[in-house]
Structure formats: structure tokens, C-alpha cells
């Protein structure tokens, strides 16, 4: 029988080829190839806060610091798209990150902007939760007057206080009157055509009560004219609502040098809610001087039971006070010592609690209490 043998050189070549194939299959060899797996993992975005948040209208929204990390690149940059508006509504912020290999990550946060809490229905007093706006019954003034033009008004027809015209004052003690409240913006709201300032019995800022005080200083100031303010006052021992004015020079000359015109003040308790007070304060050769008058309503009516219109008619010679077009008081302002009343004045509306004049609340005082203002209008002679 014949035997067939490969030539020696062919046999050696076959062995070498098979050996090389085995080495290659096992990943061996003397090469330097990179066998690292490709990065296909997405980065992770951390919102560092909730995915849905509520924010109250009136203050700037500040977002939390959003970060991203990648398992290969470590910390990477995050870009944000979208914005939170100033009007009530729901806004979406979108965050995007991309690693060096191009792997993306996306996350979102919704921000719901809500109108300030409506102070007419206090959530801390369940018995008050169903309270509704009182009747608009009461006196209403004319919208026009012969020989006068309307130069400014606030009808409080928006959904929040017009901060182009008004500024909140904050703090406690009433700046010298030993009052008991802390003034804060949260106690003011605008609803159904009314400005509402609410006094509440609650601890805040070292005070036992809270309320609000707003002013038009450096925004709306006037010299002379007819001013009508339609309002309902709060009631009860220790309540002290006021619709008044200070001289625009107050920030430079101080009080009483600036002059003060109290269009309406009411002192609550002991049946005093039926009396409106109109007063001026000024400096007479360095001494604080004041002069005022009052009118008491008849037939059991009070400043808290229905709307009344509180008016002053003011010119270079005099100031005359009215309630519902009935004269309350008259003041001659021609003396040289009363020169402050021939300058511009700005408005202040507030509800004080306690203080030197009304005294403190007692067990008969019911909280919350509110002053409602329908409008303020300034007319000046043509």
C-alpha cells in the first residue's frame, strides 16, 4: 500500500499557520491593540430638589443648583432652558447634560406660580373659611366734579397690589406709637375690586399681632386737590385703622417737620367705631403741634357697618374734611408755620393694633379684622 507524505517544508508551514490561528483566537500575540469597551452610558442629572414646586407670585424665583455626573467623565456641565414667569401659571424648566462620548441626559422641573394667599379667607381660622366679601352697600362719591380733573386713582381692580404705585412697609411697634402689630405684606391682598388689609392675632417677629401698612412714597405724591377714599373699617377694642398722608419731604426733614394729614382715623372699642377723626400734625418752631376735628354718625351706624367716603378738599389756604360729603372739620393753613402743607404729600393706608391712642385689644376683640378700600381718587383743579 502506498503512503503519501507532505513535504517537510509544507508540514512545517501548516503547523506554523495553525499555531498563529490559535494564538489569535486566544487574544495573544505581540500586538498593542486597545480593547476598552465604548462609553454608551448616559449621564445622571440631579435636581437637588423637587421635580414640582410651588412659588408665590411677587418674589423672584431662585432655582436650586442642578448638577450632572457621568461614570466616565465625572462631573459635567448642565444647561437650562425655559423660564419662570411672573404671572400665575405652570412653567417648565428643562435641564440637559451630555458627556464626552455624546451620551445625553434630560430632566425637567415644573414651577407653579400662585397668587398670594387671599387674606379675606384665613386658613388659620376654620370658622372664617366661608367668609365672603361684604355688601358694597353704602355711600358712593361722584366720578367727576366741575372744575376738577382726575389726575390719579387706584380702583383696586387688578388681582394684586399695584407696586408701581404702592410700597409695603415692614416692621413692628408702629414707629413710635407703641403699637402691638408686625406689619408684613402677607396681610394685604386685592380681591373683587377691593384692597383688603387684615389684622390677625398671631405671633410674628416678636409681636403678638400682624397687619399691613402700604404707602405711595416716591411713587405717587400730590399737592392740593380733592381726595376721595371709599372704605369700610374694622371694629373692636384696640383696632386703629388710618387713611392718611405724609409730606414727601419726610425722608429728609423727618416728622413732624414734613407735616401729616390724617384723612380718617377710627379708634375701635367702647362704641367708638361711629366716629371719624381728621387731624393735621406739624412743627411749630420746633414743637410738635396738632389740630383735629371729628364727627359721630347717628342712628347706630358705624364706619365698620357700610362703606363711607372720606374726603379732603385741600388748597393753599385750607383743608376741609368730609364724610359722605358732610363736613367734619376745617383747618386754615395760611400761617407761615404751616408751610409744610403747601408741599406734596404721599398716601399711607394701615390698620394698627393697640398703641397709645386706642389701647390694647381685650377679650371682646375678635380677630381677624379687616379694612376694605374700594377706591382712592385724586382730583385737581383745572
Task: Decide: residue 144, CB within 10 A, 0-12 exposed, 13-18 middle, 19+ buried.
Answer: exposed
CA distance 318 to 353: 31
Rounded CA-CA distance 300/289 in Å is 33
CA angle 329, 330, 335 (to 5 degrees): 145
- 196 contact partners, CB below 8 Å, separation of at least 6: 119, 120, 188, 189, 190, 370, 371, 372, 373
User: Which one is catalytic: 179, 235, 260, 273?
Assistant: 260
Could you confirm whether 265 is annotated as catalytic? yes
**175: helix, strand or coil:** coil
Locus of grid cell 393694633:
353
CB-facing half-sphere around the CA of 318: CA atoms within 13 A: 7
179 annotated active-site: no
Separation of first and last alpha carbons in the chain: 140
Helical H segments across the chain, by residue range: 8-25, 250-253
User: Which three-class secondary structure string do you get for 312-356?
Assistant: EEECCCEEEEEECCEEEEEEECCCHHHHHHHCCEEEEEEEEECCC
d(CA 359, CA 361): 7
Beta bridge partners of 30: none
Distance CA 306, CA 90 (A): 39
Which is the catalytic residue, given 198, 235, 265, 273?
A: 265
Spatial distance between the Cα atoms of 316 and 351, rounded to a whole number of angstroms: 30
CA atoms within 13 A of residue 58's CA, in its CB half-sphere? 17
Q: Measured between alpha carbons, how far is 99 from 40 in angstroms, rounded to an integer?
A: 10
Is residue 309 within 8 Å of 230, Cβ to Cβ? yes
Handedness of CA 229, 217, 345, 377 (dihedral sign): negative
Query: Contact 265/275 with Cβ under 8 angstroms?
Result: no
Radius of gyration in angstroms for the set of CA atoms belonging to the chain, rounded to a whole number: 37
What are the residue numbers of the active site? 260, 265
Amino acid at each position: 500500500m502506498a503512503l503519501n507524505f507532505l513535504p517537510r517544508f509544507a508540514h512545517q508551514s501548516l503547523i506554523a499557520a495553525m499555531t498563529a490561528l490559535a494564538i489569535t483566537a486566544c487574544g495573544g500575540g505581540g500586538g498593542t491593540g486597545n480593547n476598552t469597551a465604548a462609553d454608551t452610558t448616559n449621564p445622571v442629572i440631579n435636581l437637588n430638589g423637587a421635580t414640582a414646586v410651588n412659588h408665590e407670585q411677587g418674589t423672584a424665583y431662585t432655582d436650586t443648583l442642578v448638577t450632572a455626573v457621568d461614570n466616565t467623565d465625572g462631573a459635567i456641565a448642565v444647561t437650562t432652558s425655559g423660564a419662570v414667569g411672573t404671572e400665575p401659571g405652570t412653567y417648565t424648566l428643562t435641564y440637559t447634560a451630555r458627556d464626552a462620548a455624546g451620551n445625553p441626559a434630560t430632566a425637567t422641573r415644573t414651577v407653579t406660580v400662585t397668587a398670594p394667599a387671599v387674606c379675606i379667607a384665613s386658613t388659620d381660622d376654620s370658622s372664617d373659611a366661608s367668609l365672603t366679601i361684604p355688601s358694597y352697600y353704602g355711600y358712593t362719591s361722584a366720578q367727576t366734579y366741575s372744575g376738577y380733573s382726575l389726575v390719579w386713582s387706584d380702583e383696586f381692580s387688578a388681582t394684586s397690589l399695584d407696586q408701581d404705585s404702592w410700597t409695603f412697609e415692614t416692621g413692628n411697634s408702629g414707629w413710635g406709637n407703641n403699637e402691638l402689630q408686625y406689619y408684613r405684606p402677607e396681610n394685604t391682598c386685592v380681591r373683587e375690586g377691593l384692597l383688603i388689609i387684615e389684622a390677625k392675632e398671631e405671633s410674628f417677629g416678636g409681636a403678638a399681632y400682624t397687619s399691613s401698612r402700604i404707602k405711595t412714597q416716591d411713587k405717587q405724591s400730590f399737592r392740593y386737590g380733592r381726595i376721595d377714599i371709599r372704605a369700610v373699617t374694622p371694629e373692636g377694642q384696640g383696632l386703629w385703622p388710618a387713611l392718611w398722608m405724609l409730606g414727601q419731604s419726610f425722608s429728609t426733614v423727618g416728622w413732624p417737620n414734613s407735616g401729616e394729614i390724617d384723612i380718617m382715623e377710627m379708634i375701635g372699642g367702647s362704641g367708638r367705631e361711629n366716629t371719624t377723626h381728621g387731624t393735621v400734625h406739624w412743627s411749630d418752631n420746633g414743637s410738635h403741634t396738632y389740630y383735629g376735628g371729628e364727627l359721630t354718625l347717628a342712628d347706630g351706624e358705624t364706619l365698620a357697618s357700610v362703606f363711607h367716603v372720606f374726603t379732603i378738599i385741600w388748597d393753599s389756604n385750607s383743608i376741609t374734611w368730609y364724610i359722605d360729603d358732610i363736613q367734619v372739620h376745617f383747618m386754615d393753613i395760611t400761617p407761615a408755620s404751616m408751610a409744610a402743607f403747601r408741599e406734596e404729600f404721599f398716601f399711607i393706608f394701615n390698620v394698627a393694633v393697640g398703641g397709645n391712642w386706642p389701647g390694647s385689644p381685650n377679650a371682646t376683640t375678635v380677630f381677624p379684622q379687616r379694612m376694605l378700600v374700594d377706591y382712592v381718587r385724586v382730583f385737581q383743579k383745572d
